[in-house]
């Protein structure tokens, strides 16, 4: 399989205009979706979130059928891959003022499924704590928008291949997320994930875990978490739509207890 293939506005290997507001201002949203056996996982949930995020910034989301048609141009029967959907506001004139009439652009990119070491699932992963802070912007909180420069700066902070991801804090040193994953802290039988009222991305897998952990005898809670509270957790789990749930075994010099909970949650997500 080629490393990348893409469809732009329905055209295989089409082009994006230099006047596109997604390119100029990050004026758009995106979703990253795991494709298994030729089918995008949890497509209805991802589309609902895509539509909601578009609505939050005033973009008309293309229909689910249209986006599925774009993906079908790229995804072969039976293959495993990753699909990324980008929706921008489309072309505009110079300046921040919205065009009187806009035609959203849609881009679908297919990439190879990443191959993670088996040790990630069996032993857990290592995280660092990033110096880069996430600023508050309640109007964009929870949205997977294209303005991801904080994540880029944070990811530049480490070069150690043993570090899987970095933890992002806000300006009040509250834990928000990782650069490419959401995070949960288990205290006894309560699984807590950070409140995202002011910043951060509310991922589909995060919501699926919140909705399903009661079946494992756990309570889900959304709350403010300080880094001190996180490091005292009985267990820490990170999640996204590609790698599912993974245990955290170490945060910088802090060793974190691990159990089989992440593996159980990961299996639950695919049932």
User: How buried is residue 83: exposed, middle or buried, by Cβ count under 10 Å (0-12/13-18/19+)?
Assistant: buried
Question: Are 57 and 146 in the same domain?
Answer: no
Question: Is residue 53 within a helix (H) or strand (E), and if so which, with residue range?
Answer: helix 43-56
Section 42-65 average pLDDT: 97
pLDDT band at 113 (very low <50, low <70, confident <90, very high): very high
- What CATH number corresponds to the domain at position 27? 3.30.470.10
Question: Are 78 and 124 in the same domain?
Answer: no
Question: What average pLDDT does the chain have?
Answer: 95
Question: Are 176 and 210 in the same domain?
Answer: yes
Out of 78, 112, 146, a domain closes at: 112
Q: Which of 32, 193, 205, 258 is catalytic?
A: 32
Question: Are 178 and 126 in the same domain?
Answer: yes
If DSSP codes are grouped into helix, strand and coil, which group holds residue 47?
helix
pLDDT at 64 > cutoff 50: yes
DSSP secondary structure code for residue 60 in this structure: P
- Over residues 10-21, the pLDDT tens digits come to 999 999 999 999
Extract the tokens encoding 217: 């005898």
What is the rounded distance in angstroms from the CA atom of residue 15 to the CA atom of residue 157?
32
Q: Give yes or no: 144 in active site.
A: yes
- Over residues 199-246, the pLDDT tens digits come to 999 999 999 999 999 999 999 999 999 999 999 999 999 999 999 999
Question: Are 184 and 72 in the same domain?
Answer: no
Question: Are 89 and 178 in the same domain?
Answer: no
If DSSP codes are grouped into helix, strand and coil, which group holds residue 74?
helix
- In DSSP notation, 9-45 reads TTEET----TTBHHHHH--EEEEEEEEETTEETTHHH
Question: Are 88 and 131 in the same domain?
Answer: no
What is the rounded distance in angstroms from the CA atom of residue 78 to the CA atom of residue 43?
16
Q: Which domain holds residue 263?
A: 118-270
pLDDT at 196 > cutoff 70: yes
What is the rounded distance in angstroms from the CA atom of residue 245 to the CA atom of residue 267?
9
- What CATH number corresponds to the domain at position 260? 3.20.10.10
Per-state percent for the chain, helix, strand, coil, to nearest 5: 25, 35, 40
Q: Give yes or no: 15 in active site.
A: no
pLDDT at residue 4, rounded to an integer: 86
In which residue are the tokens 């996982």 written?
41
pLDDT at residue 8, rounded to an integer: 96
pLDDT at 3 > cutoff 80: no
pLDDT at 2 > cutoff 80: no
Could you give the percent of the chain with pLDDT greater than 70?
A: 99
Out of 112, 144, 160, a domain closes at: 112
| Residues 61 and 87: beta-carbon distance below 8 Å | yes
Q: Give yes or no: 32 in active site.
A: yes
What is the rounded distance in angstroms from the CA atom of residue 6 to the CA atom of residue 147?
21
Q: Which of 144, 193, 205, 235 is catalytic?
A: 144
pLDDT at residue 271, rounded to an integer: 59
Question: Are 128 and 171 in the same domain?
Answer: yes
| Residues 238 and 206: beta-carbon distance below 8 Å | no
Q: Which of 41, 51, 110, 177 is catalytic?
A: 177
Out of 58, 78, 112, a domain closes at: 112
Instruction: Produce one character per residue of 124-160: b if its CB has 16 or more CB atoms within 10 Å, e if not.
Output: bbbbbbbebbbeeeeebbbbbbbebebbeebeeebee
What is the rounded distance in angstroms from the CA atom of residue 31 to the CA atom of residue 178?
16
Question: Are 124 and 243 in the same domain?
Answer: yes
Antiparallel, parallel or unpaired: β 244-251 and 235-240: antiparallel
Question: Are 128 and 255 in the same domain?
Answer: yes
Q: How many domains does the chain have?
A: 2
pLDDT band at 101 (very low <50, low <70, confident <90, very high): confident
Question: Are 126 and 91 in the same domain?
Answer: no
pTM score, whole prediction: 0.94
If DSSP codes are grouped into helix, strand and coil, which group holds residue 105?
strand
Question: Are 256 and 123 in the same domain?
Answer: yes
Section 195-201 average pLDDT: 97
What is the rounded distance in angstroms from the CA atom of residue 98 to the CA atom of residue 96?
6
């Amino acid at each position: 399989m080629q490393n990348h293939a893409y469809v732009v506005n329905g055209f295989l290997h089409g082009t994006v205009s230099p006047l596109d507001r997604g390119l100029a201002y990050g004026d758009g949203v995106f979703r990253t979706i795991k494709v298994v056996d030729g089918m995008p996982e949890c497509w209805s949930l991802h589309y609902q979130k895509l539509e909601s995020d578009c609505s939050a910034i005033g973009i008309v989301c293309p229909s689910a059928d249209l986006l599925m048609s774009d993906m079908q141009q790229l995804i072969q029967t039976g293959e495993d891959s990753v699909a990324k959907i980008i929706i921008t506001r489309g072309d505009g004139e110079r300046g921040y003022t919205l065009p009187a009439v806009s035609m959203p652009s849609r881009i679908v990119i297919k990439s190879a499924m990443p191959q993670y070491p088996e040790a990630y699932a069996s032993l857990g992963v290592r995280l660092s704590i990033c110096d880069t802070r996430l600023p508050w912007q309640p109007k964009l909180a929870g949205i997977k928008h294209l303005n991801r420069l904080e994540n880029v700066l944070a990811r530049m902070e480490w070069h150690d291949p043993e570090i899987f991801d970095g933890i992002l804090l806000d300006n009040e040193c509250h834990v928000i997320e990782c650069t490419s994953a959401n995070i949960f802290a288990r205290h006894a039988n309560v699984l807590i994930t950070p409140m995202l009222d002011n910043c951060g991305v509310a991922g589909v897998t995060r919501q699926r875990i919140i909705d399903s952990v009661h079946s494992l005898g756990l309570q889900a809670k959304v709350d403010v978490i300080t880094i001190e509270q996180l490091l005292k957790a009985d267990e820490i789990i990170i999640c996204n739509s590609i790698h599912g749930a993974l245990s955290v075994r170490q945060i910088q010099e802090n060793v974190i207890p691990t159990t089989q909970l992440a593996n159980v949650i990961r299996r639950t997500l695919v049932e």
